[in-house]
């Protein structure tokens, strides 16, 4: 990401987020580069703020994307999970002979940069390993020329539960239906209808 | 022997500490990192530009990557030369597996044309010179290609305009207002050359 794009992205967050970037940081908001885009994470981003940010991101000079998850965030022992993952990753890299890599552990995304000599080796196997790692939600692999591939765990859409039925006026037919139902059950129907 | 993966993770950890320090104290002196797997580097070394040297304690863990930090005074042109001189001398003297540098640099400023391209509402919202960066680079022994990284941050601490004001802890009642952008290690960076040259 070039300087003007980054600066205008930060400025947009400063202007739109209540309290600016300072409040954003203090509320555990995170900003991270992932290739050519700036990832923006906030643990409880208000819907209207997210909408404004998404609108701003449509501007050509602003290049950020809101993400809802962090790596190793869904476990109480996230730190231990991360340490265990790094040990497995180091072993896998060694097994594949991928020694010439730079690893950046960021809460938003795992980045692995490859040296020119080792990029031709079977990256697919490494990706196969990464995608099965519990807690790893996002990574990107970088060659010497720039971002090669990025992956993000698909978000399972939540079911929408309607808590309140549609409101409509009670008609005479409704009251008749109710009267018939109550009569079959017995009881003072007229008193009940007057109450409702 | 240290792999790039291990060196980058060790330097990542140091960068995390640097970020915390900058957020708390405000000013971070340029620091040289000597990494060695399996045992600490104990060094007694003196140079007019060096403020302090600190080494990890020996825990007896053969897999641990031990860190020795050499902290420098403020960076001027001659200090930049001193960093490279000290790195070369210590690399020859102590044979570390990797040598890295972390320091704060001024980020490139907006040109007028770039500023004009900003959306109108945003042009006046922020000081265009407020963006700085933590620069990290390191070399693994035997590889002349550096790994580099630039972590931009906004420092809008009221009343502190630049490093000439000194460490913020010396200025009473100033609260830090710093926002970092995380970044990743790359082999080549179009924005910046490594401050550290290959020291071996």
pLDDT in tens, A107-148: 888 988 887 655 555 677 788 889 988 889 999 888 766 666
CA B112 to CA A13: how far, in whole Å?
22
CA B149 to CA B58: how far, in whole Å?
29
CB within 8 Å of B30: residues ≥ 6 apart:
B71, B72, B75, B79, B83, B101, B102, B103, B104, B195
Question: For A87, which residue in chain B has the nearest alpha carbon?
Answer: B6
Task: Give the model's pLDDT for residue A122.
Answer: 63
- Tell me if ipTM is over 0.85: no
Residues of A in contact with B126 (CB under 8 A): 7, 10-11, 14
Per-residue pLDDT reduced to its tens digit, B171-180: 445 567 788 8
User: Which tokens sit at A85?
Assistant: 């993952």
Residues of B in contact with A141 (CB under 8 A): none
Per-residue pLDDT reduced to its tens digit, A3-27: 667 777 888 888 899 988 888 888 8
pLDDT at A159 over 90: no
State whether residue B124 sits within 8 Å of chain A by CB: no
CB A53 within 8 A of CB A68: no
Task: Give the model's pLDDT for residue B169.
Answer: 47
Q: In what order do the strands lie in the sheet with A146-152?
A: A101-105, A110-114, A138-143, A146-152
Task: Give the model's pLDDT for residue B36.
Answer: 94
**How far does CA B182 lie from the centroid of its chain?**
14
């Amino acid at each position: 990401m070039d300087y003007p794009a980054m600066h205008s992205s930060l400025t947009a967050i400063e202007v739109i987020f209540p309290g600016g970037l300072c409040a954003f940081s203090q509320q555990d908001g995170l900003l991270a580069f992932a290739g050519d885009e700036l990832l923006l994470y906030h643990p409880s981003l208000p819907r209207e703020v997210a909408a404004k940010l998404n609108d701003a991101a449509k501007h050509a000079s602003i290049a950020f994307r809101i993400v809802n998850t962090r790596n190793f965030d869904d476990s109480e022992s996230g730190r231990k999970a991360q340490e265990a993952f790094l040990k497995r990753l180091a072993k896998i890299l060694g097994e594949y002979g991928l020694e010439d890599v730079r690893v950046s552990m960021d809460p938003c995304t795992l980045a692995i940069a490859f040296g020119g000599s080792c990029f031709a080796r079977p990256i697919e196997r490494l990706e196969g390993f990464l995608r099965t790692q519990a807690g790893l939600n996002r990574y990107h692999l970088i060659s010497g020329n720039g971002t090669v591939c990025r992956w993000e765990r698909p978000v399972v859409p939540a079911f929408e539960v309607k808590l309140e039925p549609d409101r409509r006026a009670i008609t005479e037919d409704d009251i008749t239906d109710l009267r018939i139902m109550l009569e079959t059950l017995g009881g003072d129907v007229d008193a009940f209808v007057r109450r409702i | 022997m240290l792999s790039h993966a291990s060196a980058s993770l060790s330097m990542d950890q140091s960068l995390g500490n640097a970020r915390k320090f900058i957020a708390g104290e405000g000013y971070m002196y340029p620091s040289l990192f000597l990494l060695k797997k399996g045992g600490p580097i104990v060094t007694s070394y003196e140079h007019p530009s060096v403020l302090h040297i600190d080494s990890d304690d020996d825990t007896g863990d053969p897999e641990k990557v031990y860190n020795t930090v050499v902290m420098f005074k403020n960076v001027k042109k001659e200090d930049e030369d001193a960093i490279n001189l000290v790195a070369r001398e210590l690399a020859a003297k102590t044979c570390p597996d990797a040598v890295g540098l972390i320091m704060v640099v001024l980020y490139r400023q907006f040109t007028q044309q770039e500023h004009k391209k900003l959306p109108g509402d945003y042009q006046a919202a922020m000081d265009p010179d407020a963006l700085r960066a933590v620069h990290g680079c390191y070399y693994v022994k035997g590889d002349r290609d550096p790994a580099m990284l630039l972590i931009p941050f906004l420092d809008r601490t009221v009343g502190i305009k630049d490093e000439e004001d000194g460490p913020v802890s010396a200025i009473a009642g100033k609260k830090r207002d710093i926002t970092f952008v995380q970044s990743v290690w790359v082999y080549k960076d179009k924005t910046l050359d490594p401050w550290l040259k290959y020291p071996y």
